[in-house]
A and B are shown apart, each in its own frame.
Chain A
Amino acid sequence: MRKSLYLLAAAAFFAAGPALAQETVTIGFTASQTGKLNNDSTAQLRGFEMWRDDVNAAGGIKAGGKSYKVKFVSYDDESTGTRVQQLYTRLITQDKAQFLFSPYSSGLVATAAIISEQYGKVMMSIGGAEEKTYKLGNKYLFQTYTGASQYLAGALDVLKKKNPKAKIAFVYEDDPFSKAVAQATRDLAKKDGFAVALEESYSSSTTDFGPIINKVISSGADVLLGGGHYADGSTLARQLHDQKAKLKWVTLLVAPDSPNFAKLGEPAVGVSVPSQWEPQVTYKPDFGPTPAQFTKEFTAKYKISPGYHAAGGYGGALILQHAIEKAGSIDPAKVAAELNKTDATTLFGQTKFSTDPKSHGLQIGHKMVLAQWQMKDGKLVKEVIWPDNAKTADAKY
Chain B
Amino acid sequence: MIGILASVIDGVLVGAVYGVAAMGLTLIWGVMNVINLSHGAIIVLGMFVVYFLTNATGVSPYYGIPIVLVVGFAAGVIIYWMSVNRVIGRPILMSLLATFALNMIIIGLATAAWTTSPYNVPISLPGITIQNYTFTGTHIMAAVIAGVIAGLLYLFLHYTRPGRAIRAVASNREAAELNGIPTRRVLAMAFGLGVALACVSGALISTLFPFTVLSGGAYQLKSFVVTVLGGLGNPAGALLGGIALGIVEGLATPFTPVSWTPIIEFGLFVLTLMAFPRGIFSFTRP
On chain A, the residues within 8 Å of B208 by CB distance are 208
Nearest opposing residue in chain B for A38, CB measure: B117
Number of A-B contacts (CB under 8 A): 84
Contact: A246 with B132, CB < 8 Å? yes
Residue of A nearest to B132 (CB): A217
Contact B116 A35 (CB under 8 A): yes
B12 to chain A, nearest CB (A): 12
Residues of A near B111 (CB, < 8 A) are: 34
Residue among A39, A207, A211 making CB contact with B258, cutoff 8 Å: A211
How many angstroms from the CA of A78 to the CA of B212 in the assembled complex? Answer: 12
Min CB distance A364 to B, Å, is 33
Q: How many residues of B contact A (CB 8 A)?
A: 36
Q: Are A231 and B210 in contact (CB under 8 A)?
A: yes
Distance in angstroms from B134 CB to nearest chain A CB is 5
Known contacts A34-B116, A36-B117; decide if A242 and B258 are in contact (CB<8 Å): no
Question: CB distance A202 to B3 under 8 Å?
Answer: no
Within the complex, what minimum Cβ distance (angstroms) separates B70 from chain A? 27
Report Cα–Cα, A33/B139, bound state, in Å: 32
Which residues of the partner chain B approach A203 to less than 8 Å between Cβ atoms? 259, 262
Interface mask (A176-212 → B, CB under 8 Å = 1, otherwise 0)? 0000000000000000000000001111010110111
Task: Tell me whether A210 and B3 are in contact in the complex, defined as CB-CB below 8 angstroms, given that A200-B258, A215-B253, A235-B210 are known contacts.
Answer: no
In chain B, positions 237-276 with a C-beta closer than 8 Å to chain A are: 249-250, 253-254, 257-259, 261-262
Counting contact residues on chain A (CB < 8 A from B), the size range is 20 to 34
Q: What sequence of 0s and 1s flags, for each residue 106-132 of chain B, a beta carbon within 8 Å of any chain A beta carbon?
A: 000001000111100000100101001
A330 CB to nearest B CB, Å: 35
Pair B259/A214 contact, Cβ less than 8 Å: no
Interchain CB contact under 8 A, A242 and B3: no
User: Within B195-225, which residues are at the interface with A (CB < 8 Å)?
Assistant: 208-212, 215, 218
How distant is A120 from chain B, measured CB to nearest CB, in Å? 33
- Indicate whether A36 sits within 8 Å of B132 (C-beta atoms), given known contacts A200-B257, A202-B258, A242-B127: no
Give the shortest distance, in Å, between B191 (CB) and chain A (any CB).
29
- Are the C-beta atoms of A243 and B253 separated by less than 8 Å? no
B116 touches which of A78, A218, A235 (Cβ 8 Å): A78
In contact, B259 and A36 (Cβ under 8 angstroms):
no
Q: Which partner residue on chain A sits nearest B11 by CB separation?
A: A211
Interface residue? B20 (CB, 8 A):
no
Please report the C-alpha to C-alpha distance between residue A242 and residue B215 in the assembled complex, in whole angstroms.
Answer: 22
A243 touches B254 (CB 8 A): no
24 residue pairs bridging A and B, Cβ less than 8 Å apart: A33-B115, A35-B117, A36-B118, A38-B115, A174-B259, A200-B257, A200-B258, A200-B259, A203-B259, A203-B262, A205-B218, A207-B210, A207-B215, A208-B208, A208-B209, A210-B10, A211-B249, A214-B6, A214-B133, A215-B7, A235-B210, A242-B136, A244-B129, A244-B134
Beyond A214-B6, A217-B3, A243-B134, 6 additional contacts (C-beta under 8 Å) are A35-B115, A39-B117, A200-B258, A202-B258, A214-B133, A231-B118
